[in-house]
Amino acid sequence: MSRSYFHLHLVSDSTGETLINVGRAAAVQYEGISAIEHVYPLVRSGAQLERVISEIKAAPGLVLYTLVGHELIERLEEACRETGSPTLNVLQPVHALLRSYLGATSTERPGAQHMLNAEYFKRIDAMNFTLAHDDGALPDDLDEADVLLIGVSRTSKTPTSIYLANRGLKTANLPLVPSMPLPPSFERARKVLIVGLIASPERIVQIRQNRLLSLKADENSAYVDRESVADEIAASRRLCAKYRWPTIDVTRRSIEETAAAILDLYREHRLKFIAT
């Protein structure tokens, strides 16, 4: 099947993360078609916009933008009409709905969501904690964590932890190793939400084999033996059932989907903890 391509211009007065996520989430729905992304972050002056326009003229395509300055918006849309490039102000429908519902007007501050407020520093603090508590490191202060992820090797504990940290949750993770007991700090932990990550043996074996291949290591160990891996996963299920820790099967979940499920569990956990 041949693949076709189109130019996707993403123009932002901030980091461009919103546009990248929206553009990719939409483009991936079209089989056989790929976007050639052109990302222009921090576009806040006329001179910067003119450089963007010159690139759009050189490679016309679809233009998504998140600009708040009226003059910049008018100039961009005028240039796009000249090149026949469809444009969409991605946040405009959301702002219109908020204005209608709230009966208020927006402040039009470029990059306002990235201002150095308390939420920003909370995320930084969570990221520092998470990196210091990766792969079972420093387990003695687990009750300072918001979330603790456990699971056998290759269940995406580290990337999920980092994603949660970016959402402001202090997240530790601990690998479950056969015949190795849990640290004593687990018995003392009360506030932290403990979640078990599991996956099918076939998926774990596949990931581990790729890992060993990249390391040029022995591929005949119990680490990649299907029966041994199945025993590991069964043991992790029993452990979680013993302590009534929720589990999430990550076999067919993306990191984002796994994190979303954990965030829901965390909200429920916090409500119960506050109530007691």
**Residue 153 assigned to a binding site:** yes
**Residue 157 assigned to a binding site:** yes
**Residue 152 assigned to a binding site:** yes
Using alpha carbons, list the distances in angstroms from residue 50 to 53, 59, 112, 254. Answer: 5, 14, 23, 38
**Residue 156 assigned to a binding site:** yes
**Residue 130 assigned to a binding site:** no
**Residue 154 assigned to a binding site:** yes
**Residue 155 assigned to a binding site:** yes
Binding-site residues: 151-158
Binding-site residues for ADP: 151-158
